[in-house]
Structure 1
Amino acid sequence: MATPHLFAAWQKLSTKIVGVLLSFLAVALMVIGSTLFLSWQLEGSAAAINVTGSLRMNSYRLSFVVGELADPDGRAAARDEARYQVAAIEQTLQQLRQGDPQRPLFLPPSSTIRDAFATVNQRWHDTLQPAAQALLARDDVRAADAHNFHTQAERFVVQVNGLVQLIEQDSEQRTFWLRASQLLLLALAMVGTVSIIYLMFNLIVNPVTSLQEGMERMREQDFEVRLPVDTQDEFGQLAQGFNLMADNLQGLYGNLEQLVKTKTAALEDQNRELALLYDSAAFLQQPQPAESLCDGFMKRISAYFHADGGSVRVLDPIRGNLHMLVHHGISDQLVKTEHCLKVGDCLCGEAVAKKIAVVHDLRRIDDNHTLQCHRDGFVTVSVFHIYAQRQHLGFFNLHFRKPVSFNQRETALLETLGQLLGTAIENQRLAAREREMAISEERNLVAQGLHDSIAQGLNFLNLQVQMLDQSVQARQFEDVAEIVPLLRTGVEESYQDVRELLHNFRTRLEQGNLVASLETTIDKFQRQSGIEAVLEADSDGAPFPREQQLQLLFIVQEALSNVRKHAMASRVEVRLQDQYDFVLTISDNGAGFDTESLPGKGESHVGIHIMRERAQRIHAQLAVSSVVGGGTTVTLRLPRQQRRAA
């Protein structure tokens, strides 16, 4: 089971290179090791030759010293020297017998040399050493005995010479093998270098060159080039990948024109979709009635999808009715039949009940032509829903006289268009509700203004008329004379209040400029009341939206009206500071009043409630400060974070 894995591992380029290098390394280490071993042996043999050669010198020296034992005068010194030489020879033989690997010193491992050394050692111990010790033990040594020992020493030296020659012959042979090993190492280095260069060329250089040539041909758009796959290593896999890339590029360039046409068509479709979305969004943002909105919407999507007819229906969630708002391309009979559907009726009502977009093929679901749209010649009817903030508002149909299907992109486009139409319809409804709320709020303010001015004046006149009637019936003409001027004054005040209210209700901003409108209002106030009025404006802030400017103007008018009616002032100052926060103050030098008694007089007192409601509309803060005999100041502050952009 492991054989395929081993084979696959050997196919790798890295495995091949490492294997070859390790093989050469193993052979080189073997040859170098043998060379070192031979050198070590030669060094030990050379030391053995030197030590063995010293036996001859020691033997000759011992023979000479033994000859001097015959001379009585030098016998003592000769005996000591002879003992020293005997010990030296014994020590030398012991070294040769045991060897010394560290020096190194040893006899070559040859049986001939070992036998020759054994003979020399035996002759020394059996013959020469006993003879020398015997002569050293005697007190007198004759010349014949010394000559006899000399003869034996000569024979011992001859054997030692034979041993030295054998060691030298062995050293010569080992020297020959050492030279041969060195030559083999040199040859191995040359062969290894050539082999590695050859292998590198075959394993790396040639595949890289082939790949480079293929890339050059590929750069020249020769997509028919293919690389030979001779191995299963990394370069073989690279060649396979190159060939696969060449196949893909050849296929791509072969189909490039078709791909360009396909991509161009896809981009054109996307551009048409974007153009439809932009056009529809811009159209739906325009202020117009719902019928015009839906009619323009249907014309655009019908032209885009080449629909033969279409309609838009809105949902009445309370009664569950679907009313046809606009239509085109469908018969009057179909309009009459389906101008109002119930949720769940017919195919369209079922789609509304399920809240899913569907495309019906009428040929498959209405074989007997029971549906009016099928009888009118339509083959395909699609239903797409109109949503706004997840609120279902209705749906729109597209009718086709030919079989039509929508892909995923077209379905998403129609659903997006349905959401755009739903948002536009819902925005119209919200705008209508906002206008209705604004009118209602303004009517409340008008009612409060009438109550604060006209209603109170008429109530005063009613009381005076009753008193006048009683005085006339009682013939109290003195009281009548007092009541009539009061009635005339009350009527005049009510008339002035009506004129002021009419003037305020007709107030318009002059080109959206708050300061200019304030100047006009203050100038009219000064001419009508005769009270000096001054405007100080420091306006560096961004312009207000018109609705906020109008409320600010109404607040100033109401404050000036209170000054005219109640303050008995001779001067009014209006200050406008529009820096970080907007601050508007209206100050007079009139009679003033006690602000602590203000809550007990009701919200309608001197129009303060109206000013506060208008301030709340624009999220501003209104404060009234007054001192009896020291005038009144109305301050309105609008923080920057509550200020809307114009």
Structure 2
Amino acid sequence: MTPSPDSAAGTAGSAGAQAAATASPAVSLPADPPADPPSGAPVAPFQRRLSTRIVVLSTVALALVLAMISGTLWLSWQLEGGGAAINDAGSLRMRANAVAIALWEARTGMPAQVDAEVRQLDETLGELRDGDPARPLFLPADAGIHAQFERVSAAWTGALKPAALHDLAAGTGEPSSYMALLPGFVDEANRLVSLIERENARKTAWLRISQVALAAVSCVGTMAIVYLLYQWFVAPVQRLQDGLARIEAREFDTRLPVDTYDEFGHLAQGFNRMVAELQALYQDLAARVDAKTAQLAAQNRELATLYEMAAFLNTPGATESVCRDFLTRVMREFDADGGTVRVVSPEDGNLHLLVSEGMPDAITRAEQCMPAADCTCGGASAEEPVVFALRGARQDDATLAQRCRKAGFVSVVVSAIVAQNETFGTFSLHFRREREIPPSGVQLLQTLGRHLGVALMNRRLVALGRQLAVSEERNLVAQGLHDSIAQGLSFLKMQVHLLDGAAARGDLDEVREIVPLLAGGVEESYDDVRELLLNFRTKLGPGKLRLAVEDTVARFRRQSDAELTLDYRDEDGPPLPPDQQLQVLFVLQEALSNTRKHAEALHVHVSVVNGRDFRLAVEDDGSGYDPVEIASRGESHVGFHIMLERARRLAAVLTLDSAPGRGARVELVLPAASRMAA
């Protein structure tokens, strides 16, 4: 097998270099050889592609192996055909003797046996002459063997067979003619068998030689393939490994030899280019690392500032105190000499000075409130902070620029306070020296302005939330007062008017009738006030709903003569959170209050089932009411309106079921989708 030009170049070029490459394949060489062959020197694909080499090598090896295997198979087939020919040629002697025996037996009256034996000997000669590939059976392709076969065939057809037929026709006499020729025929057949055996012995020797040659070729071919694969793959990989080891040891002047034009040659070129770039980069790596370290340090400081500012702005505190601490931290971060925080008035759009640090008193007194157009601090937009240079300001510039310049400030940085596209104001940093803000600092100021805007907006929302909660509670208080105390006071006012008229007329009997009514009304109003105060002061913790329900039921039993039964069942539902428990308790209290005041019931049943859905039901057998009439009255029936409003807060379903003279039922259902775990 012929090695590739690449390996031949490696072997024939320098045996010592190859030995060195085998022991330590990766060596540091000077400059790179050219990546492509010299101009005008064609390079075959076999030299360029490893895949082509592998395919050619595999094809050659396969063709050689198949050829040798085919040769051994051909020899085996020849030996098998020759062996069958030896058997048939040897059977000629047996057939000839069988004919002689048949001739002797023909004297006793069995002539047909002679014809059969003659026919079989003819068939044997015919098979030896024509061959039989199916068995296989054929004479070896040797001229001497074929000549001897012709002599045997001629001896039979020309002499022995006619003698046998003559002796058979002679009758019962002794087959003397046939017996006289038989020894000569047998000798000729023996010589034919000997010739075929010698030819088979020769082919057997060739078969052994071919098998030994096949084994030798296999060993030599395997060694050649291993050697070529080592030269094509292992040696380049070892050179790459050694090169990588040298790069890990920071020997950036390492280069790999590029002596082939295949994939490993291109890989070595790429390796050399990479090492050259690494060498160039490593020369100024220290400066790059220092610059990157400084950049990362600055970014870490910015992130720490943002984290600290976000955590600080999320803590509770007054707006002025939060803005002052915010300004102090920003001034410390940017090393500013002064600063202000101004908010925009939504009514007139003026800037109001909220806090200031490091600013002269003359500026803070003169700029408590001013139009945004008259102030340099009003020039900031929501998109990007603005840097003003005051040293070259003209006399007709804004008043603030003149004041700041007189106070010794040289530069001013103004950033907007923004949240959700709404500008709440601006904050400014004042410097007594020239100051340029890098893009990262500009972005940090913009982010800080947004954080402060979110903090101010959250405090505004918290204040609005408190106002809304107070308004809602005031509404509920007003509804409760209207439903209970207002009606009682109206009754008392009417009775006092009647009492005044009776006293003016001197009608003591009527006075005696009105005074108990006044006392009862005052007592009922007092009870209503105590019940309202108790409801407003009710506070529940997790798992306290059952105790509160039992207290409410006990208070109803003390205030009413109706018999009340309570069925409270905790099934598979989790406990309600305190705010939902409180709303449920308010609905129960309102329902029992309506029953006590208006129903005139004898029996009341309260059912509380805490299952997957929370259910509260209050039933009585009182006088009932007309649902159509209640619906027509709308919000004028304050008790029902309060219960419906609390049900809406819970996202629950409130059902009012009643009829005149048939009692009433109030059912509150809080679905599993609306309830929250405690």
Alignment match of 2:640 (pick from 598, 608, 612): 608
- Native 8 Å contact 2:393 2:401 kept in 1: no
1:465 to 484, 488, 496: 496
Query: Which residue of 576, 580, 593 corresponds with 1:561?
Result: 593
Counterpart amino acid of 1:14? P
After TM superposition, give the deviation of residue 210 of structure 1 in Å: 5.8
Equivalent residue, structure 2, for 1:501: 532
Question: Bigger CA drift: 233-242 or 441-450?
Answer: 233-242
Aligned to 1:406: 437
Moved more, 283-292 or 574-583: 574-583
Q: What SS does the corresponding residue of 1:344 show, helix, strand or coil?
A: helix
Q: Which residue of 2 aligns with 1:390?
A: 421
Deviation, structure 1 residue 582: 2.3
Are positions 1:335 and 2:367 aligned together? no
Match of 2:317 in 1: 288
Instruction: Render the CA deviation track for 1:162-212: whole Å, top value 9, x for unaligned.
Output: xxxxxxxxxxxxxxxxxxxxxxxxxxxxxxxxxx99999999998777656
Cα pair distance change 1:633/1:217, threshold 3 Å: same
Among residues 221, 227, 244, which one is paired with 2:273 in the alignment? 244
CA distance in 1, matches of 2:228, 2:437: 64
Residues 606 and 616, structure 2, Cα contact 8 Å, conserved in 1 = yes
State the partner residue of 2:253: 224
Give per-residue Cα distances to partners, 1:279-301, cap 9 Å, x unaligned. Answer: 22222222221112212222222
The alignment status of 1:436 with 2:467, answered yes or no, reads: yes
- The 8 Å contact of residues 340 and 427 in structure 2, kept in 1 or not, is answered as yes
RMSD: 3.9
The 5 A counterparts of 1:514-553 are: 514-529=545-560, 531-533=562-564, 534=566, 536-538=568-570, 541-553=573-585
Cα 1:216–1:480, aligned 2, differ >3 Å: closer, same or farther? closer
If the length of structure 1 is used for normalisation, what is the TM-score? 0.63
Q: 1:316 to 1:632 in 2, by over 3 A?
A: same
Give the Cα separation in 2 of the matches to 1:604 and 1:445: 14
In 2, Cα distance between equivalents of 1:200 and 1:539: 79
- Structure 1 counterpart of 2:476: 445
Aligned pairs for 1:12-411 (under 5 A) are 14=45, 214-227=243-256, 237-352=266-381, 356-365=384-393, 371-411=402-442
Question: What one-letter code is carried by the residue in structure 2 that aligns with 1:274?
Answer: L
CA contact (8 A) 2:350 2:372 kept: yes
Judge which range, 532-541 or 418-427, deviates more. 532-541
Distance 1:620 1:589, change over 3 A: same
Change (3 A) 1:374 1:515: farther
Residues of 1 paired with 2:492 and 2:282: CA distance? Answer: 100
- In structure 2, what is the equivalent of residue 423 of structure 1? 454
Describe the shift of the 1:475–1:198 C-alpha distance in structure 2 as closer, same or farther (beyond 3 A): closer
Preserved CA contact (<8 Å) 1:532 1:572: yes
Aligned equivalents of 2:244, 2:303: Cα separation in 1:
42
- Whether 1:617 and 2:646 are equivalent positions in the alignment is no
Cα distance in 2 between the residues matched to 1:213 and 1:496? 99
Question: Which residue matches 2:201?
Answer: none
Identical residues among aligned pairs (%): 49
Match of 1:76 in 2: none
Deviation at 1:346, TM superposition (A): 2.8
Show structure 2 runs of 5+ residues with no match: 1-35, 57-224
CA drift of 1:595 comes to 3.0
Tell me if structure 1 keeps the 8 A contact 2:384–2:446: no
CA deviations on 1:499-532 (whole Å, 9 max, x unpaired) are 2222223333356833333333333333344655
CA distance 1:341–1:545, shift in 2 (3 Å)? farther
Q: Structure 1 residues 511 and 237 mapped into 2: Cα distance closer, same or farther (>3 Å)?
A: closer
Q: Does 1:455 align with 2:483?
A: no
**TM-aligned CA deviation for residue 434 of structure 1:** 1.6
Distance in 1 of aligned mates of 2:360 and 2:521? 69
Q: Distance in 2 between matches of 1:428 and 1:9?
A: 83
1:488–1:206 CA distance, 2 compared to 1 (3 A): closer
Distance 1:204 1:570, change over 3 A: closer
Alpha carbons of structure 1 residues 625 and 6: separation in structure 2 relative to 1, 3 Å: same
One-letter code of the match for 2:599? A
Contact 1:9 1:15 in 2 (8 A): no
- Give the one of 649, 658, 674 matched to 1:626: 658
Q: Residue 482 of structure 1 aligns with which residue?
A: 513
For 2:462 and 2:621, locate their aligned partners in 1 and report how far apart those are by CA, in whole Å.
44
Match of 1:576 in 2: 608
Greater shift after overlay, 476-485 or 573-582?
476-485
Partners of 1:551 and 1:208 lie apart in 2 by 79
Q: Which amino acid aligns with 1:508?
A: K
Distance 1:483 1:233 in 2: 122
Give distance in 1, aligned partners of 2:557 and 2:297: 68
Distance 2:494 2:233 in 1: 121
- Would you say the 8 A contact 2:479–2:638 is kept in 1? no
Provide the rounded CA distance (Å) in 2 between the counterparts of 1:629 and 1:546.
Answer: 37
Q: Distance in 1 between matches of 2:41 and 2:235?
A: 20
CA apart distance, 1:428: 1.0
Which secondary structure does the structure 1 equivalent of 2:601 belong to? coil
Query: Closer, same or farther in 2 for the Cα pair 1:559/1:198, shift >3 Å?
Result: closer
CA-CA distance at 1:347 after TM superposition: 1.9
Q: 1:578 offset after TM fit, Å?
A: 2.9
Structure 1 contact 12–233 (Cα < 8 Å) conserved: no
Deviation (angstroms), 1:557: 1.9
The 3 A distance-change label for structure 1 pair 413 and 516 is farther
Letter matched to residue 253 of structure 2: E
Distance in 2 between residues matched to 1:305 and 1:13, nearest whole Å:
69
Task: Give 1:615 deviation, angstroms.
Answer: 1.9
1:273 partner amino acid: E
Counterparts in 2 of 1:218 and 1:12: CA distance versus 1, 3 Å: farther
TM-score, normalising length: structure 2: 0.61
Give me the whole-angstrom Cα distance separating, in 1, the residues matched to 2:448 and 2:301: 14
CA contact (8 A) 1:309 1:327 kept: yes
Residue 567 of structure 1 and its aligned partner are, at CA, apart by 2.3
What is the rounded CA distance, in whole Å, between the counterparts of 1:413 and 1:551 in structure 2? 46
Identify the residue that residue 140 of structure 2 maps to in structure 1.
none
Q: Secondary structure at the match of 1:598?
A: helix
Cα distance in 2 for residues equivalent to 1:200 and 1:462:
118
State the 1:469 CA deviation.
4.0
| Contact 1:12–1:234 under 8 Å retained in 2 | no
Which deviates further from its counterpart, 301-310 or 258-267?
Answer: 258-267
Shift in CA distance, 571/205, structure 1 to aligned 2, threshold 3 Å? closer
SS at match of 1:574: strand
Alignment equivalent of 2:627, drawn from 579, 582, 595: 595
**Distance in structure 1 (CA, Å) of the matches to 2:48 and 2:537:** 101
1:441 Cα shift?
A: 2.0
Q: What is the deviation of 1:224?
A: 0.9
- State the one-letter code of the partner of 1:317: P
**Which shows bigger deviation, 608-617 or 512-521?**
512-521
| Structure 1: gaps (5+ residues) | 25-195
The one-letter code sitting in structure 1 at the alignment partner of 2:656 is V
Could you tell me how far apart the structure 1 residues matched to 2:238 and 2:475 are?
A: 94
Provide the rounded CA distance (Å) in 2 between the counterparts of 1:316 and 1:11: 85
